[in-house]
Every structure is written in structure tokens, then in C-alpha cells.
Amino acid sequence: MKKVITYGSFDLFHEGHYRLLQRAKDLGDYLIVGVTTETYDAYRGKLNVVDSLMERIEHIRQTGFADEIIIEDHVGQKAEDILKYDIDVFTVGSDWTGVFDYLKKYCQVVYLERTKDISSTMLRAKKYGIIRLGIVGAGRIANRFVPEVKYVSGINIESVYHPYFENAKQFAKKFELNHWHDNFEEFLRGIDAVYIASPHETHEGYTERALEAGKHVLCEKPMALSKNSEERMFELAGRKNCVLMEGIKTAYAPGFMQLLGVMKSGVIGEICDVEACFTKLEDPKARELTDAEYGGSFTELCSYTLLPIVKIFGEKYESIRFDSFTNKKGIDIYTKAYIRYKNGMATSKTGLGVKSEGQLLISGTKGYILVDAPWWKTQSFEIRYENAGQNEKFFTKFLGDGLRYEISDFVSAINGYENKSFKLTRSESVFMAEVIEKFLKERKGDTGRQDGEIQG
Ligand code: CTP
């Protein structure tokens, strides 16, 4: 019996898929089809798959060509499967020509001509249209955002807004955008959704104006600087039937999702302590270290460090205490926040003027998880036990600047085909705003220790 194997996502099953399976079956007597999991698709950079794994399997089953359907969930699996199932022919479409030649040492490799003018990507665009996105701001993060959008199908950057016309124009020229504005209302007119990457204190105003105009919003962290503001923004989004998402990239990254899954499985017992540290040395003249009202290490970086804390222990804490080193303007160059929960304790360390190891440490009654620096771009973590022989290390990809994952979920949410809000819930975002509000209030009342003491 001649055995054939092929692989794919088979999203929004179409004629190209049907024809490929038909011809694959004709290459032998028995056809095995490998269908990718969503996690593996995210790993290999294929974002925005619409149909669930079960739906995709069902569509393949209905063709009647597959004698067996298997799941593909990791890199290197193809060679394993070929040996395991004693495969004679490996086949895929001609868009992959050459890529799988390395499998020729195991079996015959056939590239079947791809059916013209049809693909899942095209169907996704047709079904949902292309979301026209506008960017607010032209700073560092906005610059990093634009190239990431290209990795997500169904969304296109139309324009940029900046209060200074020249800045908007420069940005548009750099990224070959067709439109640039210094008038916010005009900017909103030609778009469906907005990405807000302006200074923290302007997030709320821009978000509200965009939502009022019925635009979906992806807002950089911290979305709001007080609990009330954050709640008001979500309430407005709900009323306007718009998507509102806080852009904390780690929350949407596959590695971080895997970490949470592993942790929740109970492998390290009951979790007692979480320590999260994020430091990034900043130019003392930068806005982050000169804006006495909203700058500083905590407001800048706590959205990251609070994320694992709230994911693990939740929103209801018993007490919170801050400790900072501040510069002459009273801006914290380093802040430790101690959070006490009924059954756990947590520390957030953030620094713009103090450098430390950017790791995440989760301690439990049976062992601990150490997430390697930079943990917020989660790529690897290790479960460690008393008996080091049982230690286990996990690896995941964090592609590019990692913004593509949140952009992909933003597109999914707008198209309404999947509710991925569990990755960062509204109440988790509100928790972060509440903690920032507490911190800012405390800082106003007490400028703390002066950096002269440590900088000499
Ligand atoms: N395929 C094909 N002809 C098409 C589209 C896909 O022969 N018009 C083949 C691919 O080459 C692959 C299999 O179908 O062997 C599954 O491909 P998949 O990547 O799931 O489909 P695409 O439509 O290419 O998906 P996307 O647009 O998301 O890349």
C-alpha cells in the first residue's frame, strides 16, 4: 500500500484545498492529512486563522479523501510522522516548492501545482473586508508597530495623526502611508480602527473621541491612569459596540500563553510568590524621566510586571506598598511594589535608571518556574524542582517585536469571530489602572528618596 501525507491549516476550506487533497489521494492508496493547531500556526507566524481546529478537521473529513487525519503541533513533526506512519510520498502545494526537499531522504517529495486565485488569506479579506487602521502618534512605539501590521492579514494602515503636521507627514513618508493629519476629526473619518501610541496622559482623550466616533481602539499601555477612567472607557466601548483593547504585547504572545497553561496545570503546586522585574535604562533627558506628572519607571513599565501578578493571583489583593528611588524632579527611576494577597505575595520591580535582571520567578509548594530575561518577550522558561533531574525547559517563538500577536487578536475581535479577550480581561486592565492611580497619588504626596543618594 502506497501511503501519502500532506499538511496545512485548511482555514475557510476552499477549492484550492479540495483540489490539493484530491490529487494527493491520487498519488497513492492511503492519505494522511496533518492539520495544524492554532498554537503551532501562531508559532510559525500564521495569525488570524478563523476556523477552529475541529471545524478544519471536519471540512477535510467531509471531502472523503482523507483516510486518516492527524494533528500537527510542533516543528520537526513531519520527519517524525514520515517514519512513524511509514510514508512513501510527502506532498504539499507548489507555494512550498523547495522548502521540504530535506524530507527526500525519508520519502518521495511531490509539490502539486497550487490552484490559482484562491487562498484562505483572500477569503478572510473577502469575508471580513480589510480593516482601515489609523495610528495616533509617531514616536518609537508607533515606528515599531507599522512593520508588525504587515504580518497580520485583514488590516491595513491608512493614515497617521500627530498634533504637529510636520511630524505626521514625516511618519507617513517614512512608511509610505497615503494620509497624514493634524486634525483628529478628519483623521477619524477615513478609518475603521485606531491604534493609540501617544503619551500616556493623552490615551484617555483620544480613546474616548475615537470610540464616540464608532471606531475600534487598540490603545498602548497604560490605557488609563485611574480606575474610573478605565471603567468609563470600557463602558463607552460597550455602548458604542466597539472593540477596546489594551496593547500589552506580552498578554497576547504564544510563549506567555503557554507559560500560564503550564503554571495552571499545577506542576509547581500552589503558587505562593511572583516576582516580576522589568528595567530599561533610559536617557535622563527623555520624556520618561523628565515628565514629573506621568513619567517614571512604574507608570512606564508596570503594565508588564503587573500582568503575571494579576493573571496568577487575580484582582483582589489585601495591600499594596511602593518603594522608590526618585530623581531630582521626584520621578521614580526605580520602583518596587509589594502586593499582598490572601494566599500569595508578589513583587513588581521596574527601573528606568537602575538595571537589574529582567526575569520572572513564580514560586510554588512543589517547585518554581523561572522565565528567562526578557520574560515579557516570553521565549523560554524552566520548571525547576528540588530534584534537579526532573527539571523541564520549554521554548516558544516570539516573532519580531511581538506586536503582531495583539494586532491579530484585535482583528479577530473586530471581525467578531472569536472572543480572545481572556488573554487580557477588562477587569485585569482595570486592576492595572487602579494600581497606577494609587502609585501616582502616593508619589504626589511623597517624592521619596533622591537619586543624588545613589547616583553620587
Ligand atoms: N493550496 C493549494 N492551492 C491554493 C491554496 C492552498 O494547492 N489555492 C494548498 C497549499 O499549498 C497547501 C494546502 O493547500 O499544500 C494547505 O494550505 P493552507 O496554507 O492551509 O492554505 P492557504 O489558502 O494557502 O492559506 P493562507 O492563505 O492562510 O496561507
Task: Tell me how far the alpha carbon of residue 113 lies from the centroid of ligand 1, in angstroms.
Answer: 11
**Domain enclosing residue 51, as ranges:** 3-112
Cβ–ligand 1 distance for 92 under 6 Å, the answer yes
Which pLDDT does position 455 carry in this prediction? 37
| Ligand 1 atom at minimum distance from 36 CA | 20
Of 351, 341, 268, 348, nearest in space to 308 by CA: 348
Distances (CA, A) of 36 to 16, 78, 92, 257, 407: 17, 11, 14, 18, 21
pLDDT at 450 over 50: no
Write out the DSSP string of 22-60. Answer: HHHHHTSSEEEEEEE-HHHHHHTT-----S-HHHHHHHH
Q: Are 16 and 63 spatial neighbours (Cβ–Cβ below 8 Å)?
A: no
- Do 188 and 317 lie in one domain? The reply is no
Confidence of residue 447 (pLDDT cuts 50, 70, 90): very low
33 versus 49: which is more confidently predicted? 33
Confidence of residue 48 (pLDDT cuts 50, 70, 90): confident
Instruction: Mark which of 112, 145, 171 sits at the end of a domain.
Output: 112
- How far is the C-alpha of 219 from the C-alpha of 207, rounded, in Å? 7
Task: Tell me how far the alpha carbon of residue 45 lies from the centroid of ligand 1, in angstroms.
Answer: 15
Of the candidate ranges 88-92, 127-131, 295-299, 443-447, the one whose mean pLDDT is the lowest: 443-447
Instruction: Mark which of 52, 82, 112 sits at the end of a domain.
Output: 112
- Do 282 and 240 lie in one domain? The reply is no
| Ligand 1 atom at minimum distance from 94 CA | 11
Cβ–ligand 1 distance for 258 under 6 Å, the answer no
- Do 11 and 26 lie in one domain? The reply is yes
- Do 193 and 153 lie in one domain? The reply is yes
- Do 292 and 438 lie in one domain? The reply is yes
pLDDT at 50 over 90: no
Query: SS3 for 303?
Result: helix
pLDDT at 401 over 90: yes
Strand 380-384 to 392-395 pairing: antiparallel
Q: Are 170 and 149 spatial neighbours (Cβ–Cβ below 8 Å)?
A: no
Task: Tell me how far the alpha carbon of residue 8 lies from the centroid of ligand 1, in angstroms.
Answer: 7
Which pLDDT does position 149 carry in this prediction? 95
Task: Tell me how far the alpha carbon of residue 38 lies from the centroid of ligand 1, in angstroms.
Answer: 16
Q: What is the pLDDT of residues 301-317, one digit of tens each?
A: 999 999 999 999 999 99
Q: Cell numbers at residue 409, please? A: 487578536
Confidence of residue 453 (pLDDT cuts 50, 70, 90): very low
- How far is the C-alpha of 190 from the C-alpha of 255, rounded, in Å? 36
Which pLDDT does position 454 carry in this prediction? 40
Confidence of residue 325 (pLDDT cuts 50, 70, 90): very high
Average pLDDT over residues 249-259: 94
Which pLDDT does position 417 carry in this prediction? 57
The domain that contains 176 carries what CATH number? Answer: 3.40.50.720
The pTM for the full model equals: 0.86
- Do 169 and 276 lie in one domain? The reply is no
The domain that contains 59 carries what CATH number? Answer: 3.40.50.620
Of 133, 91, 85, nearest in space to 112 by CA: 91
- How far is the C-alpha of 451 from the C-alpha of 456, rounded, in Å? 8
Our count of domains for the chain comes to 3
